[in-house]
Amino acid sequence: ANLVLLPGDGIGPEIVAQAKRVLEVIAARFDHEFEYSSHLIGGIAIDQCGDPLPQETIDACKQSDAILLGAVGGPKWDDPSAKTRPEAGLLKIRKELGLFANLRPIKLFDELIDASPLRRDIIEGTDILFFRELTGGIYFGESGRSGSGDTESAYQMMVYSVPEVERIVRLAAKAAKQRDNRLTSVDKANVLEPSRLWRSVAARVMKEEFPEVQYDVVLVDSMAMHLINRPRDFDVVVTGNMFGDILTDEASMLPGSLGMLPSASLGDGGPGLYEPIHGSAPDIAGKGLANPLATILATAMLMRHSLGLNTEAETIEWAVSAVLADGLRTADIARGGDAISTEAMGDAVVAQLT
Amino acid sequence: ANLVLLPGDGIGPEIVAQAKRVLEVIAARFDHEFEYSSHLIGGIAIDQCGDPLPQETIDACKQSDAILLGAVGGPKWDDPSAKTRPEAGLLKIRKELGLFANLRPIKLFDELIDASPLRRDIIEGTDILFFRELTGGIYFGESGRSGSGDTESAYQMMVYSVPEVERIVRLAAKAAKQRDNRLTSVDKANVLEPSRLWRSVAARVMKEEFPEVQYDVVLVDSMAMHLINRPRDFDVVVTGNMFGDILTDEASMLPGSLGMLPSASLGDGGPGLYEPIHGSAPDIAGKGLANPLATILATAMLMRHSLGLNTEAETIEWAVSAVLADGLRTADIARGGDAISTEAMGDAVVAQLT
Ligand SMILES: CC(C)[C@H](C(=O)O)[C@@H](O)C(=O)O
Ligand SMILES: CC(C)[C@H](C(=O)O)[C@@H](O)C(=O)O
């Protein structure tokens, strides 16, 4: 398989390096051939090419089987008046590759449960898979300004179409069938017209194509509450781009260990994009302090969703559990106890796999 | 003062009745004259007039000094294909009365801290005041459909103008000066044009008019995270209508006792609207189980913000603390212990005040 690595900014290169070691040892153990090429994205791409997503990177991604991304952004490129910013690269790669579905599993590692800001009795057993729509909604709607001076106003349009809703709901419903067979769709249909369309299309798809999946609908404001006081009640959750951005970040706090959470962005057939959900953490970049486990878990998702290699995926996930069970911790999850380096954590996972 | 009561649906009438008793005893004790008139809103208004906000109610509100609302909505009026729904009454009263600022204090009662889903060390000391913009943004933007059948799409516009941002930021900054002198503005300026306008207008207002207030900016997705893992770090938070809807509901879970949280919606000069933030709880309506304390605390906000009666406001808040300290609990906050009725809770607060 042809794998593209996009290390990006901040701690990106360090964590991708460890994940690549894991890919290499998996290839050796299961007798696969993985080819790797690294390309530019984000701030470093702005510095080197003046473009957060150079055409060369897009081309390489399009020809690949899957993409592993580190992280993008940092204070160096944060000037609001800058012509272009690292995040523009992220939005563009999603659109260029048609990555309309962002999958974010929120799962607790038993060993880390005390890191959760929630009480143990609330959080224990939480296991949610989010599907966030990623190439539509208000993120890509028409925007602009009108008037000027004291009366200037700015607008941006939220839009959803029938096929956009159908395809993400179908993906989420299929995933629900592989899990606990329950799907929750989140919208704001009491206020927003695109949410009303979303709600009726989702209901039709579920009724016609997935009558066996238990299906319900929750308003986005209520969902923001439920995630905190009854997270265990959800299995698969599907929602639009903006609501998904907020809710998945909220949910990512529940386990209390951001450094452990991967995500996958999938399209129709083409390569998927895999990444940790945490950011580029410029404050600790280059110091060997970053936790590579989310990126390593992202490679497990890559095995599963882009290469169809389930055993390999489970093996990686098992190895991560094993190093945690051994008590190994990077600083972010050490809670004041002994911490090991990024590379030592990579060593430990690799050791489990060889 | 001329006070309008809008009991609404579900438990609305029961909790407003107890809050009215508190208003009466405050009037007697501090020698005020409060006149009361009750009017229709929500589902009951649909049933009786075919309109969730009859003109008669609007007129009465406009002539009043302040409005106390119970709750609206319920399964009876939930049919998505219905011509009109109870929530339409809420959106309309906000717009008709120009209630552009929704204030939601998120404060813990020490006696109830174990009700929080968050660990005590995270939540202790949390005291946030939200300002949600309430009459603009995507809630009131142009909306519609285009295309049909398989290609139909639906849109709704998010819009913010300079004056809309200025007035809410000013109110929030003034409140910050009375509190811990810190203001956080929440937006999604890395994606949305209205957020970019919001961000630059807010920065200008703060720099020119409130240079002494400590000011920062957080993205909405990050804020959804921070509320869970470091809620103590925020003092006053200001944001737009949609983000405010989601974030204030998320924050309302932090104390773990929704039945204790009031809110105020204020305009420019006209009457303010005060209400508990919980819903109409149709499942327990009419059973004497509802917690009237959020509505009673809403009357304290009414004293403070619409009538300028600070001592009266503090007296009500003190009385609520006192009944909690006495161990009195309605079912929602009893955590399995002894619970008293809605009316008995009203009795207890009234007894503290006489
Ligand atoms: C960086 C930003 C544009 C992006 C988004 O809002 O989609 C990020 O928050 C994410 O969730 O991947
Ligand atoms: C009922 C609904 C329209 C309303 C809103 O979204 O504003 C409610 O959630 C609120 O926060 O008061």
User: At which of B220, B254, B288 does a domain end?
Assistant: B254
For residue B81, what pLDDT is reported? 77
Domain boundary among A224, A254, A284: A254
Q: Is B221 in the pocket of ligand 1 (CB under 6 A)?
A: yes
> Same domain, yes or no, for B18 and B90?
yes
Contact residues, chain A, for B158 at CB < 8 Å:
138, 155-158
Asked if residue B157 has its Cβ within 6 Å of ligand 1, the reply is no
Residue A263's pLDDT is 98
Interface contact flag, A158 B157, Cβ < 8 Å: yes
Q: Does the CB atom of residue A250 touch ligand 1 within 6 A?
A: no
Domain boundary among A254, A287, A303: A254
Average pLDDT over residues A284-288: 97
Burial code of A71-80, b = ≥16 C-beta within 10 A, e = fewer? Answer: bbbbeebeee
Q: How far is CA B103 from the centre of its chain?
A: 6
What tokens appear for A296 in the block? 């390593």
Q: What is the mean pLDDT of residues A306-320?
A: 98
Site to probe by mutation for ligand 2, drawn from A186, A187, A190 as the one with most ligand atoms within 8 Å of Cβ, is A190
Same domain? For A200 and A293 the reply is no
How many residues in total does chain B contain? 354
How far is ligand 1, taken at its centre, from the CA of residue A312, in Å? 29
User: A15 pLDDT exceeds 90?
Assistant: yes
Total domains in the fold of chain A: 2
Q: Hey, whose CA ends up nearest to atom 5 of ligand 2?
A: B245
Q: Which of A221, A233, A268, A326 is catalytic?
A: A221
Claim to verify: residue B250 and residue B262 sit in the same structural domain: no
Chain B residue numbers touching A117 (CB-CB < 8 A): 118-119, 122, 228-229
d(CA A344, CA A296): 13
B16 touches chain A (CB under 8 A): no
* Residues A279 and A350 reside in one and the same domain: yes
Which B positions 275-334 lie with beta carbon below 8 A of chain A?
none
Chain B positions in Cβ-Cβ contact with residue A118 (cut-off 8 Å): 117-119, 228
**Is B122 inside any structural domain?**
no
Q: Residue A30's domain spans which residues?
A: 1-103+260-354
User: What CATH number should be reported for the domain holding residue B211?
Assistant: 3.40.718.10
Q: Percentage of chain B surpassing pLDDT 90? A: 95
Same domain, A129 and A250: yes
Which residues in chain A are contacts of B115 at CB distance < 8 A? Answer: none
Contact residues, A window 72-91, toward B, CB-based 8 Å cutoff:
80, 85, 87, 91
pLDDT band at A83 (very low <50, low <70, confident <90, very high): confident
Do residue A72 and residue A153 come from a single domain? no
- Of B151, B221, B229, nearest to A162 by CB-CB distance is B151
CA–centroid distance, residue A245 to ligand 1 (Å)? 7
Q: Answer whether B182's CB lies under 8 Å from B217's CB.
A: no
Is the pLDDT score of A132 beyond 80?
yes
Tens digits of residue pLDDT in B158-185: 999 999 999 999 999 999 999 999 999 9
Instruction: Assess whether A181 and A245 both reside in one domain.
Output: yes
Query: Is the domain of A151 the same as that of A247?
Result: yes
Q: Is residue A52 part of a domain?
A: yes
Q: Is A249 a catalytic residue?
A: yes
User: Are A194 and B246 an interchain contact pair (Cβ–Cβ within 8 Å)?
Assistant: no
Please give the model's pTM, rounded to 2 decimal places: 0.96
The pLDDT tens digits for A169-212 are 999 999 999 999 999 999 999 999 999 999 999 999 999 999 99
Q: Are residues B303 and B349 in the same domain?
A: yes
Q: Is residue B91 part of a domain?
A: yes
Q: What is the pLDDT of residue A82?
A: 83
Reported as a pLDDT band with limits 50, 70 and 90, residue A95 is very high
User: Is B67 a member of any domain?
Assistant: yes
Question: Is residue B123 in a domain?
Answer: no
Residues A77, A128, single domain; the answer is no
Whether residue A38 is contained in a domain is answered as: yes
Q: Best substitution site from A220, A221, A225, A226 to test ligand 2's pocket, by max atoms within 8 Å of Cβ?
A: A221
For residue A81, the model assigns a pLDDT of 77
* Co-location of A201 and A149 in the same domain: yes
Query: Which residues, in sequence order, are CB contacts of A187 under 8 Å at separation 6+?
Result: A195, A196, A198, A199, A217, A219, A220, A239, A240, A243
Tell me if A111 is assigned to some domain: no
Closest to A97 in 3D by CA, of A277, A213, A261, A266: A266
Q: Which of B186, B187, B188, B191 most suits a substitution to test ligand 1, by most atoms within 8 Å of the C-beta? A: B191
Residue A112 lies in a domain: no
SS3 content of chain B, % helix, strand, coil (to 5): 50, 20, 30
Contact A309, A296 (CB under 8 A): no
> From CA B272, how far away is CA B62, in angstroms rounded?
10
Quote the CA–CA distance of B281 and B72 in Å, as a whole number.
9
Question: CB distance A155–B153 less than 8 Å?
Answer: no
Measured between CB atoms, which of B118, B221, B253 is closest to A245?
B221
Q: What tens digit of pLDDT does each residue of A265-279 get?
A: 999 989 999 999 999
Give me the residues of chain B with pLDDT under 50, please: none
What is the arithmetic mean of pLDDT over A286-307? 98
Q: Which of B119, B149, B156 sits opposite A117 (nearest CB)?
A: B119
Contact predicate B67/B111, CB 8 Å: no
* pLDDT band (50, 70, 90) for residue A66: very high
Query: Are the C-beta atoms of A282 and A75 separated by less than 8 Å?
Result: yes
The pLDDT of residue B75 is 92
B140 and B250 fall within a common domain: yes
Interchain pair A156, B189: CB under 8 A? no
